Structure 1
Amino acid sequence: MENLKNKILIVQTAFIGDVILTIPLVKSIKKYFKESKIYFLLKPDSLNLLEGIPEISELITYDKKTKEKGIKPFIKIIKKIKSEKFDTAVIPHRSFRSALICKLAGIPERIGFDTSAGAFLLTEKVPYKKNVHEIDRNLSLLSAFGIIEKGSIPEISVSPEDKSFIDEKFNKLKITETENFVTIAPGSEWNTKRWLLEGYVSLIKLLWKKKSVPSFLIGGKKDLMICNRIQNLTGIPIVNFCGKLTLKQSGEVIRRSKVLISNDSGAVHLAVGSGKKVVVIYGPTSPEFGFYPYGEGHTILKENIYCSPCSIHGGKKCKEKHFKCMKNITPERVFNAVLKYL
């Protein structure tokens, strides 16, 4: 394809999983616009994921929820983006703010979804397809250029330094390359997307007592309290890496394990990008929203209950006050699902 764009900005300032699912879009844009420089606007907590991707010329961070919250930082990021003189913005993030930034920064071509809260600020609106995976949905934005692209795994590359770091951690714990263990990510940004704490405790006990398989906990600093409680309640050997690793280092731990067990969270997509299968537990959300583990060989556990799904993200509390979508998923059911990966 003839290259008509010098600089392209991709905007995805949502959650970690959303950023991972944008990686195939990045690679496809570079594939068709080889001479273009690609920039990516994202939150600082997702930065580690995209570092080292050769298709990206520069990562621009915008800490919209904490350090850069408010009107002054908002104006500052607009000025920063305006100074770069982008030709095109591709905006998979369906937020008003993302579209507004690109409009006020004077980017002449702004491509996003027709369901975006800022759709009226876009120059090209692509239909948002509901019953497809988010990776394929993101790639559909290329139709604005007349491009039809097939989906692919969002590969996450790990540096030799990160691999050496995990090697050192494993050596200190006397974990061998052939160690048979599972990785568990019990956290989530949303309370109701978390399977029961006692469920994870019982699962870890079952894996150890019936199969002598240890569990390794991963997560961010926000998940530390949950992981520490799980570790304290199990009373058996467990490795708790929560809050101690970068995202890519967590991905390397997942890669070395037999399988990841997780809620519907960014960890699912981190595992897929690290080449590992997933047992994912759904509660208030649903695979039909398009955020299921990409590819084949994964296991999805979900209860067929009248009130689920109730939200695309989940919430702080169960609206029906019974939380059956999670409570009805037993540790034995999850254990049996994990067995085929051991």
Structure 2
Amino acid sequence: MRLSAMGDVAMTVPVLRAFVKQYPTVKLTVISRPFFKPFFDGIPNLEFFAFDEKERHKGFPGLLRLFKDVKKLKIDAFADLHNVLRSKVVSLLFALSGKKRATVDKGREGKKELTRAENKVFKQLPTMFERHAKVFSALGFPLDLSKPVFPEKAVLSSDILDIIRNENQKLIGIAPFAQYDSKVYPLDLMKEVIAKLAENPSYKILLFGGGKKEIEILDSISEPFENVINMAGKIKFQQELQLISNLDVMLSMDSGNAHIAAMLGVKVVTLWGATHPYAGFLPFNQSLENALTSDRNQYPKLPTSVYGNKVVEGYEDAMRTILPQQVVEKVIEQLS
């Protein structure tokens, strides 16, 4: 069970792919929001159960209904990959009915030590993938994540092909936004990165985002360039996943798009502001060298938070220490 957020749900996918490969006789049922169903399409022995937040599974009575609904599927064990009140309630109900259960340890203590301003303990914490694998291990299913399984590149529909008009170019995805401003690379610098990459006619640059404001910004960025296309608002979510699976590289913030690209086996370059890959959120199967972090010599309190939701005075410009030229070089490196 993992209900949100987009990046966190995407991070369960590589672990579940490893599970079904290593335990082909065991059936998995994923409980999540219906919006995330496409993440799990095509995974063998996996059934998706839609959590109906607004009606059937709303509130405490809804969680009792959820337990009853899922119990009908003859569940033998319950893996709580969320560790929030709702998932804890369902997990407890399974335990009371005599089923095995295990809950993800989010490592709050280590994250607190990593992000505090004083006496910071700056070291790599276990990744979320390792934490998820530990849950299955506790249920009697140890996992080896060292031989990743990825889906085939999707065959692109004519609607997508009409929009991207690709002439055998390398496909570079760029997702310049994140939930919090402290994780967003300054727009003027991102424009420099895009302009520099767009100089090469053998690159096709596809911009990803969502919501009216982001679409307007991406439209204005893409307008001057023939080989830069804003995909936001033009295709459905499922089509977006198909397109991302065909990218040669994705440039992203510490955000959901990074994890979506990684779960599809795409190379990902990430840019980090207030957060840091040491907290365990480096996208799956990506090298730390492809995570460009803000300069800790100039900004010694970094990382200031795990999710980027904390505003620290004087740290607004931390990401300006990541130079556009560095970003361009790192992206091009992935294409060779």
Which residue does 1:121 correspond to in 2?
none
Task: Describe the shift of the 1:338–1:16 C-alpha distance in structure 2 as closer, same or farther (beyond 3 A).
Answer: same
Deviation at 1:45, TM superposition (A): 2.4
Query: Deviation string for 1:83-130 (max 9, x for gaps)?
Result: 43422101121223212122235552211135589xxxxxxxxxxxx7
1:12 aligns with 2:2: yes
How many residue pairs align between the two structures? 312
Aligned AA for 2:84?
S
Which residue does 1:93 correspond to in 2?
82
Residue 318 of structure 2, aligned match among 297, 300, 325: 325
Which residue does 2:291 correspond to in 1?
300
Which residue does 1:127 correspond to in 2?
none
Residue 100 of structure 2, aligned match among 90, 109, 124: 109
Deviation at 1:16, TM superposition (A): 2.3
TM-score, normalised to structure 2, is: 0.80
1:136 aligns with 2:135: no
Which residue does 1:153 correspond to in 2?
148
Task: Describe the shift of the 1:173–1:243 C-alpha distance in structure 2 as closer, same or farther (beyond 3 A).
Answer: closer
Deviation at 1:245, TM superposition (A): 3.3
Deviation at 1:173, TM superposition (A): 4.7
Which residue does 2:51 correspond to in 1?
62
Superposition pairs of residues 150-229 of structure 1, within 5 angstroms: 150-151=144-145, 152-153=147-148, 155-156=150-151, 163-165=155-157, 167-171=158-162, 173-176=164-167, 178-209=168-199, 213-219=203-209, 221-222=210-211, 224-229=212-217
Aligned AA for 1:88?
A
Aligned AA for 2:9?
V
Structure 2 unaligned blocks of 5 or more: 109-123
For the aligned residue pairs, the C-alpha RMSD in angstroms reads: 3.1
**CA distance in 2: counterparts of 1:75 and 1:204, whole angstroms:** 50
**CA distance in 1: counterparts of 2:291 and 2:5, whole angstroms:** 21
Aligned AA for 1:51?
D
Structure 1 unaligned blocks of 5 or more: 1-10, 118-129
Which residue does 2:280 correspond to in 1?
290
Task: Describe the shift of the 1:244–1:103 C-alpha distance in structure 2 as closer, same or farther (beyond 3 A).
Answer: farther
Which residue does 1:4 correspond to in 2?
none
Task: State percent identity of aligned pairs.
Answer: 24
Residue 38 of structure 1, aligned match among 11, 18, 28: 28
Which residue does 1:243 correspond to in 2?
233
Task: Describe the shift of the 1:274–1:247 C-alpha distance in structure 2 as closer, same or farther (beyond 3 A).
Answer: farther
Task: Describe the shift of the 1:260–1:173 C-alpha distance in structure 2 as closer, same or farther (beyond 3 A).
Answer: closer
Instruction: Work out whether residues 17 and 149 of structure 2, in 8 Å CA contact, stay in contact via their aligned partners in 1.
Output: no
Deviation at 1:310, TM superposition (A): 1.6
**CA distance in 1: counterparts of 2:246 and 2:22, whole angstroms:** 34
DSSP-derived class of the 1:102 partner:
helix
Aligned AA for 1:262?
S
Which residue does 2:115 correspond to in 1?
none
Instruction: Work out whether residues 94 and 116 of structure 1, in 8 Å CA contact, stay in contact via their aligned partners in 2.
Output: no
Which residue does 1:6 correspond to in 2?
none
Task: Describe the shift of the 1:276–1:302 C-alpha distance in structure 2 as closer, same or farther (beyond 3 A).
Answer: same
Instruction: Work out whether residues 170 and 248 of structure 2, in 8 Å CA contact, stay in contact via their aligned partners in 1.
Output: yes
Aligned AA for 2:4?
A
**CA distance in 2: counterparts of 1:67 and 1:340, whole angstroms:** 49
Task: Describe the shift of the 1:43–1:70 C-alpha distance in structure 2 as closer, same or farther (beyond 3 A).
Answer: same
Instruction: Work out whether residues 18 and 148 of structure 2, in 8 Å CA contact, stay in contact via their aligned partners in 1.
Output: no
Task: Describe the shift of the 1:26–1:337 C-alpha distance in structure 2 as closer, same or farther (beyond 3 A).
Answer: closer
**CA distance in 2: counterparts of 1:273 and 1:48, whole angstroms:** 12
**CA distance in 1: counterparts of 2:20 and 2:269, whole angstroms:** 32
Aligned AA for 1:193?
K
Instruction: Work out whether residues 3 and 32 of structure 2, in 8 Å CA contact, stay in contact via their aligned partners in 1.
Output: yes
Instruction: Work out whether residues 170 and 203 of structure 2, in 8 Å CA contact, stay in contact via their aligned partners in 1.
Output: yes
Task: Describe the shift of the 1:289–1:156 C-alpha distance in structure 2 as closer, same or farther (beyond 3 A).
Answer: farther
